[in-house]
């Protein structure tokens, strides 16, 4: 198996996409390190007691000390997959600084700090980093009505490309996926009249992430890969 005995950090691993990623990783032999804000966040996570899943509740990933503790607990990081984030929609006229900074912290700062910690942990041993941007990060006009979210995810995309160039000679390949609206129970509940059949499934998006984070990916770096399905 491609990931046998490889240690992989998966932030946001208890969410819909994160769970699909963790499921596929452990099936491929990986040891997954999944941070959570609190013990309560993991209570409904069905993989919490799996032998290949290591849960930590060290705090907010927008906090440097919490991120440092997380990566210090992982032996020889092979890949770091950054799914943690949050979404909020509001017109700019109704978005205060606190709302903006919440989106920046949840989506960009967490990603940046985890990328930094992963690069430090990998050193010159090589490895893989996969971030999660979003469709509006590539198609800015589609971000109308959610400009703070769009800007924070665009920052993730820019970070991905810049970092990929910076660490290529260390054998670290950095990429991101940019999902459209994914087929999750929460999204179905929020948009009950939508055509769910065109939304990408979390398992399909997870499969793309797994390739980018795998040893089989030998050359792809600096990519922001659209995972839109038929939408």
Are residues 105 and 84 in contact, defined by beta-carbon separation less than 8 angstroms?
no
Average pLDDT in the chain: 96
Residues in the chain: 231
pTM of the model: 0.96
Could you report the per-residue pLDDT of 97-150, keeping only the tens digit for each?
A: 999 999 999 999 999 999 999 999 999 999 999 999 999 999 999 999 999 999
Could you tell me the strand order of the sheet in which 53-56 lies?
Answer: 53-56, 31-35, 7-11, 77-82, 127-132, 172-179, 224-227
Q: Please name the residue that has the structure tokens 């989506």.
A: 107
- d(C-alpha 204, C-alpha 96), whole Å: 36
Q: In this structure, are strands 77-82 and 7-11 parallel, antiparallel, or unpaired?
A: parallel
Are residues 175 and 164 in contact, defined by beta-carbon separation less than 8 angstroms?
yes
Enumerate domains of the chain plus CATH numbers: 7-227 (3.40.50.720)
Q: In this structure, are strands 31-35 and 53-56 parallel, antiparallel, or unpaired?
A: parallel
Number of other residues whose CB lies within 10 A of the CB of residue 86:
13
Token pair of 139, please? 């198609």
Q: For the residues 45-55, what does the mean pLDDT come to?
A: 96
Question: According to the model, what pLDDT value does residue 214 have?
Answer: 98
Look up residue 45 and give its DSSP letter.
-
Question: According to the model, what pLDDT value does residue 176 have?
Answer: 98
Token pair of 115, please? 């990328």
């Amino acid at each position: 198996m491609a990931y046998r005995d490889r240690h992989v950090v998966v932030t946001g691993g208890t969410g819909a996409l994160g769970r699909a990623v963790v499921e596929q990783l452990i099936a491929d032999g990986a040891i997954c390190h999944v941070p959570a804000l609190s013990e309560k966040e993991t209570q409904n996570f069905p993989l919490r007691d799996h032998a290949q899943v290591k849960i930590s509740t060290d705090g907010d990933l927008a906090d440097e000390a919490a991120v440092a503790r997380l990566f210090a607990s992982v032996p020889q990081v092979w890949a770091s997959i950054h799914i943690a984030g949050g979404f909020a929609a509001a017109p700019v006229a109704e978005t205060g600084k606190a709302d903006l900074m919440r989106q920046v912290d949840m989506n960009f700062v967490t990603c940046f700090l985890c990328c930094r910690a992963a690069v430090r942990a990998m050193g010159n041993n090589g490895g893989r980093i996969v971030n999660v941007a979003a469709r509006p990060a590539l198609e800015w006009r589609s971000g109308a009505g959610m400009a703070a979210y769009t800007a924070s995810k665009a920052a993730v995309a820019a970070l991905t490309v810049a970092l990929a160039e910076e660490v290529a000679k260390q054998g670290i390949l950095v990429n991101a996926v940019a999902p459209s609206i994914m087929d999750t129970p929460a999204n179905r509940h929020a948009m009950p009249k939508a055509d769910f059949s065109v939304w990408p499934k979390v398992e399909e998006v997870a499969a793309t992430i797994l390739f980018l984070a795998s040893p089989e990916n030998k050359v792809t770096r600096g990519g922001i890969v659209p995972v839109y399905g038929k939408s």
